[in-house]
Amino acid sequence: KSGQIELPASHSGARLSWTSFWIQCPKVKAWYRRAEHGLQTAEMLGTVASLNADFNYPSQSFYHAWLEMLLNMDRNTLWGAAGGMVFENEKSWDVRDRFESVESISGGTAEAALQKMAGQGRSVALFNPLNWSRTDPLRLDVPAGTSLADVRCQADGDGRTLCRATLPSAGILTLETSAQAAATPKPVELPAVIETAHYRVRVDPNTGALSSLKLKPSGREMLAGPVLLVAEQAGDFHSTPRREERKRLADSSQFKPQITVSDGPLATVVHVESAFYGGGASRQRLHFYKDYPRIDFDVELNDVPDKTVVVAEFPLAQPVQETRRGIPYGFSHGAWATKNPNLAGFADGIVAAIRWSHYQFEQGGVAILDRGLPGRELTGQTPVLFLFNAQNIYMGYPCAWLSGRGRHNLSFALVAHDGDWKDARVSRMAWEFNCPPVVTANAAKAAPRSFLQTSDNVVVEAMRREGSEIELRLAECLGVAGTAEVVLNLPHREAALTDLVGGHRQPLTGRPAYRFPV
């Protein structure tokens, strides 16, 4: 009768069971992550367009899309613990069908909404779905043979264009196009040192591995050894042993690579190609950005042998004091080198992280960002990111999505920093890594517009229409109690702070700027 919901609160972590579920079938995990971010973006852009242009917010289509996402979140589906017919089947409504339906709904809605907002012209419009002004390097699809005027651009190896622009918070930027194609990076010899505004790195000419990372201006070394791809003996499709119990089968330093390097106005790009364990080809592409701290790794594995785990190994130069890893609506925070009962997060063994994990030193730290690769394990000073757990058969049924056969593309990033983790923007950088802007051509040139701004201590995870209301859902991202600030530049009469389902409303004052505790 009081309206209060009393739930027991647990202030401790827990060891995960069914350890293979968190590390296998990256195809379904990465596709889910990509589809989820695309749907969140479409809802936000649809909300903006429905209140600023002649655009009907597609509530029913979004409802169907989220139902399909819920079906694909079935534990065995998202865990990759199922026979192949669950993922693809000629006679049934399968996982692929649902993902493709979701992407059709979100992609079509976002494109139509942005076109309505941008109008007709000869420019390119970009919508940023993140609640901060972003300047991270963007890989964009722009009209062939063109580039973006007044913005630094570089042709990327996958046919897209790498560019740096300042996109307004939850807003639209329009850029004129140039008939001149983006700058093609020049082939160069592998430098002894690749230096950027944020660090100095070395790539081993004999292995192609990132072997040293020294921060600027401190000169602090962050790596104790090379970042390698490692093949290890797997368990089965349900349980994977701890790292000290897995036999090391091979690593990427044992295979002679072919290394090519190109240098452009935005990034030095290192391509490393070699054979790998089992005889399949391994290809790595590393982006070292001239003026951004993130180092991007795009990895291609081919024909990984059955019952093989593949990890990326990051030997760190200093003892890890604390660990953090992203979880829904926050992060887990645990002690490592020295026990601390005030830090209840569980860090031992195989754990799952959403978008990011972080390893704090006494001074500085390192973050690993991922696109749908949740598996992590920390042993001593060496965290690993699980890339693959090859299992050709699940419970007697073949499964192509779980198998190591064929080609597998995986993306992750490394961010090293001095100082405290809160100043490193780790959670926000992880969202940038996973959440590209929406791009449309033939847009009218206009001044930048921002529809939402917030304080730096929150991440907005949803902005959608709920009947006649706008629902804004956000999460505190630093682990520190404080005050959130929100400015909503969309037509509205009043605002309230509510519970998860919109009840127990507490009116907020100050329209359009609001402050409340988090």
CA dist 516 and 487 (Å) reads 12
Predicted confidence at residue 341, as pLDDT, reads: 86
User: Mean pLDDT of residues grouped by 10 in the chain (518 residues)?
Assistant: 69 82 97 98 98 96 98 93 95 97 98 97 96 96 85 89 96 93 94 98 98 97 98 96 97 98 97 98 98 98 98 98 94 92 90 97 97 97 98 96 97 96 95 97 96 97 96 95 97 94 93 96
Q: Are residues 340 and 466 in the same domain?
A: no
Q: Are residues 414 and 454 in the same domain?
A: no
Q: Answer yes or no: are the C-beta atoms of 142 and 159 closer than 8 Å.
A: no
Residue 368, number of CB atoms within 10 A of its CB: 25
Q: Are residues 487 and 414 in the same domain?
A: no
Give pLDDT tens digits for 65-102. Answer: 999 999 999 889 999 999 999 999 999 999 999 999 99
Q: Are residues 418 and 503 in the same domain?
A: no
Q: Answer yes or no: are the C-beta atoms of 435 and 126 closer than 8 Å.
A: no
Dihedral class, residue 153 (left if φ above 0, else alpha if ψ from -120 to 50, else beta): beta
Predicted confidence at residue 75, as pLDDT, reads: 82
The DSSP call for residue 380 is T
Q: Are residues 367 and 233 in the same domain?
A: yes
Q: Are residues 348 and 243 in the same domain?
A: yes
Structural domain contains residue 28? no
Q: Are residues 411 and 467 in the same domain?
A: no
Predicted confidence at residue 86, as pLDDT, reads: 96
The DSSP call for residue 363 is S
Identify any residues that bridge with 304 across adjacent strands, giving them in sequence order.
none
Structural domain contains residue 462? yes
Sign (positive or negative) of CA dihedral 515, 516, 517, 518: negative
Range of the domain at 458: 449-517
The DSSP call for residue 316 is B
259 Cβ contact list (under 8 Å, min separation 6): 190, 203, 205, 208, 270, 271, 272
Sign (positive or negative) of CA dihedral 204, 209, 215, 216: positive
Q: Are residues 348 and 456 in the same domain?
A: no
Predicted confidence at residue 299, as pLDDT, reads: 98
- Sort 7 into a burial class: Cβ within 10 Å, 0-12 / 13-18 / 19+: exposed
The model's pTM is 0.96
Q: Are residues 238 and 372 in the same domain?
A: yes
Q: Answer yes or no: are the C-beta atoms of 219 and 416 closer than 8 Å.
A: no
**Domain count across the chain:** 2
Structural domain contains residue 252? yes
Q: Answer yes or no: are the C-beta atoms of 394 and 82 closer than 8 Å.
A: yes
| Last residue within a domain, chosen from 378, 406, 432 | 432
Q: Are residues 375 and 456 in the same domain?
A: no
Q: Answer yes or no: are the C-beta atoms of 389 and 23 closer than 8 Å.
A: yes
User: Among 167, 143, 258, which Cα is nearest to 206's?
Assistant: 258
Q: Answer yes or no: are the C-beta atoms of 46 and 127 closer than 8 Å.
A: no
Q: Answer yes or no: are the C-beta atoms of 226 and 319 closer than 8 Å.
A: no
Q: Are residues 215 and 347 in the same domain?
A: yes
Structural domain contains residue 118? no
Structural domain contains residue 353? yes
Q: 61: helix, coil or strand?
A: helix
Q: Alpha carbon of 286 to those of 44, 208, 251, 359, 414: distances in Å?
A: 32, 10, 18, 21, 10
DSSP labels, 220-271: -B-BSS--EEEEEE---SS----GGGSPEEEEGGGS--EEEEEE-SSEEEEE
Q: Answer yes or no: are the C-beta atoms of 404 and 303 closer than 8 Å.
A: yes
Q: Alpha carbon of 22 to those of 129, 350, 353, 379: distances in Å?
A: 28, 8, 9, 17
Give pLDDT tens digits for 430-489. Answer: 999 999 999 999 999 999 999 999 999 999 999 999 999 999 999 999 999 999 999 999
Residue 484 backbone phi and psi in degrees, to 5: -95, 145
The residue length of the chain stands at 518
Structural domain contains residue 62? no
Q: How far is CA 262 from the centre of its chain?
A: 25
Number of H helices and E strands in the chain, helices first, is 6, 36
Structural domain contains residue 84? no
Q: Are residues 337 and 386 in the same domain?
A: yes
CA dist 431 and 435 (Å) reads 6
Q: What is the CATH number of the domain that holds 312?
A: 2.70.98.30
| Last residue within a domain, chosen from 432, 459, 490 | 432
Euclidean distance between the first and the last CA atom of the chain, given in angstroms as a whole number: 26
Q: Residue 308: which H helix or E strand, with range?
A: strand 308-313
Structural domain contains residue 163? no
